[in-house]
A and B are shown apart, each in its own frame.
Chain A
Amino acid sequence: MTEEVAIVGVGCTGFKPVTPDVSYKELMFEAATRAYQDAGNINPRKDVDAFVTCAEDYWEGHSIFDEFVPDQLGAALRHLFTVSSDGMIGLATAYMLIKTGEFNTVVVEAHSKLSDVITFTDIVNFALDPIFNRPLGGHPHYIAGLEMTRFLHETGNTREQCAQVVVKNRKNALGNPYAAHGTHITVEDVLRSEPYFHPLNRLDISPVADGGIVMVLASENAAQKLTDKPIWVRGIGWNSDTSWPESREWGRAVYAELAADMAYKTAGIRNPRKEVDFAEVDDSFSFKELQHLEALKLCGRGEAGKLTEQGETEIDGALPINASGGLLGIGYAIEASGLHRVLETVLQLRGEAGKHQICDAKTGVAQIWRGVPTATGAVAVLGTEVR
């Protein structure tokens, strides 16, 4: 029997630039408490079959970070494990567990406490290959700059169109109570901000934020008892392109294309542009939103910039993209970034997105990339209907 998988509860602490008054444990406890209550008041000590957390040691400053997570999620002496990957791949893992038929209710968690990290850039650099890339020195985000140059060159999208993404998303974030970095800026502001990694300027890059998210997933059977607004995971895909930056096709987000193919196939989506109502994509660097739109086949190659210019991707446009504010507006939250793409998609589909609600949202796509220097990403297709 093929049971479908639904998201039945979500809990978020909101995202802020710093959170000095709470420890990461207290942040996780708040997110978990909210999620369990949202999921029909489940008791994690009794009602949850497995817990999936997503974290990387060096973001936290502790080795074997999963040691420190069970208590605040209600998972002490329970079936919990850590996936060292983005929250959306944690979600994919929970999806697989439920699909085996052996688990009915699975919890997924991810958080960011980047304000605890003093040497953020050094740690990003620490992810580069130690033999071939690190010895070159410099700030690792030059890799994103290289990619942007190639992408604009190959597709004909323009620098100004990338800046428009920033303007749109940071404005959208003003209507999102969870967002840390909502503000009114102009294209000129973006183009005149300090050059960082040509052609990326300071304002092209998402600022970081702290926050935690917990989600509860359930099988079809269990979902019906927990909520009257289940959001169905119609399809999920994830993919890793080569770990050698030198061997990549710099103009394309191949990981996103392949992850999308996988997700669309399961979801039965043949014409994404027609069948998808909105999307929450990775815009950690401004150009990434355009690159990902094209990779998700939500528009043709080279068209994403024009779509943005024409206002099609605004909240009231034909294809709202990042109505939540995206990573540029909410804040870059390491492993929690993918989960907040999913969270915003879920809120839209439930009609609970408040000021940034899109009308008639029935099918949404959430997408994430793991950031420099990886070529790993995931895509989820969520809907109000099972099929």
Chain B
Amino acid sequence: MFGKKRVAVVGAGLTLFRRYMKETGREMCYEAAKMALDSAGLRLKDIESVAYGSAPDAFDGIHMKGENMTDGSGAWRKPFSRVYVGGGTGVFTADAGWWHVASGLFDTCLVVAEEKMSPCQPHPAQAFTTIFDPIMDRPHGTTLIWIFSLEMHRYMHVHGIKKEQIALVSVKNKRNALDHPCAQLGAKITVEDVLNSEIMCWPVQRLDISPTSDGAAAIVLASEDVAKKITDNPVWIDGVGWCIDSTYWTNRDLYYPDYVECAARMAYKMAGIKNPPKEIDVAEPYDPFDYKELHHMEGLLLCKKGEAPKLTEEGVTQRDGDLPINPSGGLLGVGNPIAAAGLMKVCEIFWQLRGEAGKRQVPGDPRTGLAQAWGDLMQYGSVIVMRR
């Protein structure tokens, strides 16, 4: 056991993920939090602390947006804190919830991740210009897609990977998403569809990327004694990990995510995992672009460097394969309300390990799962390892 107290996930909730939602940010927080509490049979008074996560305030148009979301996240007159590590936030918020309970300070923690990107006009993608260094990067008119495509191209070049191989990920995840009730972009597409889609920034094409979305997710965490009273089927958080690399991303070789490996090792050490490909039954790595799923599989030590495309081609990462990857449909299929998308992956592992994933259920009685998110300027890795 690690941590002063063992921590379990006892409930989970999710809203729909859509391009434009009528609900305000705090209303979405409420919906996801309420669903999570209901699923655990708990009331708000049972919650002792709240850990909230959300990515750029620039989307909502509210400075210190965490403070605006306290009530919606169930934090009225409770200890509330917000963590924010770019795209890594969703999974990292679950890590934050872990230390609230594992420290022994609180018996329960409500973890809420929310993102409302649609308010940013004329398009949320433009808010991303402000994530770049104002001296070295912004003056070129740098966009988010530029840096992703630079990384994708480097990865393809170093390992000799072709676009056709990468497109398989988009095909798989969008198809998986057809079985997810909240999905924004579930679809049956082919590799040709991806290769024929509009070139955004070579080698990135339109069907290689996930959309902007509004949405929220929530989970309820409880210490061991309390968890056992709430449910017969707690899912234990056995490992947490996080790591950030240097800001100077142009000084790094982007073909491999060292920071994901560093975060994964931290989590695997805590969880006592020595052979990840054998011991992990199902994984939800972050897939805002299709190549990222492959990049992250390697960083998570689930396969050797450069080997991920082959595993995908061989069907190993399908739901009925030896190592199901993103059975939820991932960001590519379900949607990408940044922080909520990461926590959605944690919800998915929760449901998968309890056999509650319905049509998305991976067979074979999975016992150990992991979720991972990624963020910043190709810098951040956050990981969570869960076990039944």
Contact = CB atoms under 8 A, between A and B. Distances in A.
Contact of B2 (A2, A62, A102): A102
Contacts of A76: 244-247
B278 interface: no
A97 interface: yes
A81 interface: yes
Given A241-B76, A374-B64, A62 B84 contact: no
B100 interface: yes
A56 B55 CA distance: 11
Given A64-B56, A79-B242, A130-B62, A241 B67 contact: no
Given A77-B246, A123-B63, A237-B79, A244 B71 contact: yes
A69 B377 CA distance: 12
Interface string B43-67: 0000000000001111001111011
Nearest to A262: B79
A240 B80 contact: yes
Contact of A66 (B57, B70, B84): B84
A81 B93 CA distance: 11
A68 B247 contact: yes
A2 B104 contact: yes
- Residue picked from A75, A102, A124, most chain B C-beta under 10 Å: A102
Interface in A101-133: 101-102, 123-124, 126-127, 129-131
B32 to A, nearest CB: 17
A77 to B, nearest CB: 5
A271 interface: no
A100 B131 contact: no
B92 interface: yes
A84 B70 contact: no
A71 B64 contact: no
Given A82-B84, A99-B4, A102-B270, A374 B243 contact: no
B127 interface: yes
Interface stretch (A88-96, A153-161, A177-185, A317-325): A88-96
Interface stretch (B258-266, B281-289, B347-355, B362-370): B258-266
B57 A85 contact: no
A254 interface: yes
A27 to B, nearest CB: 15
Interface residues of B, number: 64
A366 B89 CA distance: 29
B94 to A, nearest CB: 13
B282 to A, nearest CB: 25
Contacts of A63: 56-58, 127-128, 130-131
B245 A239 contact: no
Given A63-B131, A239-B77, A58 B376 contact: no
A41 interface: no
A101 B2 contact: yes
B379 interface: yes
A171 to B, nearest CB: 32
B69 interface: yes
A130 to B, nearest CB: 6
B376 A67 contact: yes
Contacts of B255: none
A350 interface: no
A76 to B, nearest CB: 4
Given A84-B84, A102-B2, A127-B64, A77 B242 contact: no
B67 A370 contact: yes
Contacts of B3: 100-102
B83 A67 contact: no
A240 B49 CA distance: 10
Nearest to A60: B130
A15 interface: no
A262 B62 CA distance: 29
Contacts of A89: 81
Contact of A127 (B67, B127, B262, B376): B67
Contacts of A56: 57, 63-64
A62 B99 contact: no
A148 B376 CA distance: 41
Contacts of A224: none
A66 B85 contact: yes
Interface residues of A, number: 60
Contacts of A68: 133, 247
B309 to A, nearest CB: 26
B63 to A, nearest CB: 4
B68 interface: yes
B83 A83 contact: yes
B75 interface: yes
A99 B83 CA distance: 19
A243 B81 contact: no
A151 interface: no
A84 B82 contact: yes
A84 B99 contact: no
Nearest to A98: B103
B4 A101 contact: yes
B76 A85 contact: no
B139 interface: no
B134 A99 contact: no
Q: Taking each of B58, B62, B266, which has the highest tally of chain A beta carbons within 10 Å of its own beta carbon?
A: B62
Given A85-B66, A127-B64, A130-B62, A71 B246 contact: yes
Contact of B262 (A77, A93, A237, A255): A77
Nearest to A93: B81
A376 interface: yes
A229 interface: no
Interface of A: 2, 56-58, 61-64, 66-71, 75-85, 89, 92-93, 95-102, 123-124, 126-127, 129-131, 237-244, 254-255, 258-259, 262, 370, 373-374, 376
26 contacts: A2-B104, A57-B63, A62-B134, A63-B58, A63-B130, A64-B86, A66-B244, A68-B133, A70-B246, A70-B247, A80-B243, A81-B85, A81-B92, A81-B244, A85-B81, A97-B99, A101-B4, A127-B68, A238-B79, A240-B76, A241-B77, A242-B70, A243-B67, A243-B70, A370-B67, A374-B67
Given A68-B133, A254-B77, 14 more contacts: A61-B134, A64-B375, A66-B376, A70-B244, A79-B244, A79-B266, A80-B243, A84-B84, A96-B99, A99-B103, A237-B79, A238-B79, A239-B77, A262-B79
